[in-house]
Amino acid sequence: MGQVIETKAKGAAQVAHKGKAASRLTAEDLRKLLPLGEILDGDCIEAMRSLPDNSVDMVFADPPYNLQLGGDLNRPDGSHVDAVTDDWDHFDSFRAYDEFTRGWLAEARRVLKPNGSLWVIGSYHNIFRVGATLQDLGFWILNDIIWRKTNPMPNFRGTRFTNAHETLIWAGMGEKSRYTFNYRAMKTLNDELQMRSDWVLPICSGAERLKENGHKAHPTQKPESLLYRVMLATTNKGDVVLDPFFGTGTTGAVAKRLGREWIGCERESKYRRVATARIEKELPLDESAITTMQAKRSAPRVAFGALVEAGYVKPGTVVFDKKRRWEATVRADGSLVSNKQDGSIHALGAKLQGAPSCNGWTFWHFEDGNEIKPLDAARDLYRLATED
């Protein structure tokens, strides 16, 4: 790693173990010690030990799932399923996995601020063990979120139900900690309905899936829309987000887009290389060409916020009615602002017209190259891309 980052890490490590002396440092002092925007090389527990106490606002962790699968898993066409034989996912026993889990969670707790929060994602193989350990360490579970995949991998062996979801645990530092939750942003993101704890999002696929030489760069790359929602809900602009299992950098890419600071830990040089290139380029999600369109009556409900999360309508986009009487700017949580008035696509449209209601999907338009399209066109693209 570079000399500057090495120096920062050493300085932070010294501060991290000075006890009361570290607690007298200001928030700005601690921030200067952090290797912001850098991927720390090596084992995540050792890497986190280089960070000072109480210096991070949120930890998002996607640890090894310890899948406990014997041998290879192949699709009916004979192709190999990734992620079931990788060395980094293998542990000799449940005890070894539990010790590893306790180690990284203890470091996560140390570096988190008193009002910070932790997110961890897993499958049935590991999430219950992780949940028990984080409770033993003093974390307070705020929600368990079910990420229901719109396009899960089929069960090729046909011996169990298809695994169509993963579980995220969101936890605060204690029962009375004052964690961040941007309730209004989540409600606006969901078309003025309370955001529920079951999230229907597609897995990472298509143009978002990073590849090298025609092969997946990482077998378990998470979709950016998932991190977008997590970050928008539980952090604020300028907050520091730590990812101990950085992989190909989804957390860093989304953090950069939303104006959050990030730190990653990753021991695999291949993943560090891919993540660095990805974040530097800030690759946008690809909008596929329309081949077929669903009838509106049979189409699944889509919140405008889902389009913003996935990048189909980007924050900062200027939208307008067809006659260009009004203009509004799209914000990160899916709300619109026009002069001093704001609201959802429907509420603001009704407000500006002095009408009792408004269908924002057809009222608001945007420029797509040389074309002017209604927001409904972006919704159709999103539906097409997330179909099974």
Tens digit of pLDDT for each residue in 162-192? 889 999 999 999 999 999 999 988 998 898 8
Mean pLDDT estimate for the chain: 83
Cβ-based neighbours of 67, under 8 Å, separated by 6 or more: 83, 84, 89, 123, 125
Helices (H), the chain: 3-16, 20-23, 27-33, 44-48, 94-111, 127-136, 183-189, 224-234, 250-258, 269-281, 304-310, 345-353, 360-363, 375-385
- Structure confidence at residue 385 as a pLDDT band (50, 70, 90): confident
d(CA 126, CA 130): 6
Residue 271 has φ and ψ, to the nearest 5°, of: -70, -40
Identify the pLDDT of residue 151.
78
d(CA 271, CA 267): 8
Identify the pLDDT of residue 13.
57
d(CA 201, CA 347): 25
Listing DSSP states for 89-105 in one string gives: G--SSHHHHHHHHHHHH
Element (H, E) at 144: strand 140-149
pLDDT in tens, 104-142: 999 999 999 999 999 999 999 999 999 999 999 999 999
- Structure confidence at residue 73 as a pLDDT band (50, 70, 90): very low
Length of the chain: 388
d(CA 332, CA 307): 11
Which of the two residues, 32 and 102, has the higher pLDDT score?
Answer: 102
Q: Are strands 56-61 and 38-41 parallel, antiparallel or unpaired?
A: unpaired
Which domains are delineated in the chain?
27-69+81-290 (3.40.50.150), 304-385 (no CATH)
Identify the pLDDT of residue 278.
86
Identify the pLDDT of residue 296.
47
Listing DSSP states for 330-357 in one string gives: E-TTS-EEETTEEE-HHHHHHHHHT-S-
Secondary structure letter of residue 326 according to DSSP? -
What is the Cβ-side half-sphere exposure of residue 361, based on CA atoms within 13 angstroms? Answer: 13
- Structure confidence at residue 19 as a pLDDT band (50, 70, 90): very low
Residue with tokens 């092969």: 215
Identify the pLDDT of residue 4.
40
CB 197 within 8 A of CB 144: yes
**How far apart, in Å, are the Cα atoms of 383 and each of 148, 202, 369?**
16, 10, 21
Task: Identify which of 320, 310, 324 has the alpha carbon closest to the alpha carbon of residue 345.
Answer: 320
d(CA 341, CA 243): 37
d(CA 154, CA 160): 10
For the cut 90, the answer to whether the pLDDT of residue 2 exceeds it is no
Q: Are strands 56-61 and 240-243 parallel, antiparallel or unpaired?
A: parallel
CB 106 within 8 A of CB 53: no
d(CA 181, CA 228): 14
Handedness of CA 97, 100, 106, 108 (dihedral sign): negative
Identify the pLDDT of residue 154.
77
pLDDT in tens, 240-283: 999 999 998 999 999 998 889 999 999 989 889 988 988 987 64
Q: Are strands 211-212 and 371-374 parallel, antiparallel or unpaired?
A: unpaired
What is the Cβ-side half-sphere exposure of residue 351, based on CA atoms within 13 angstroms? Answer: 15
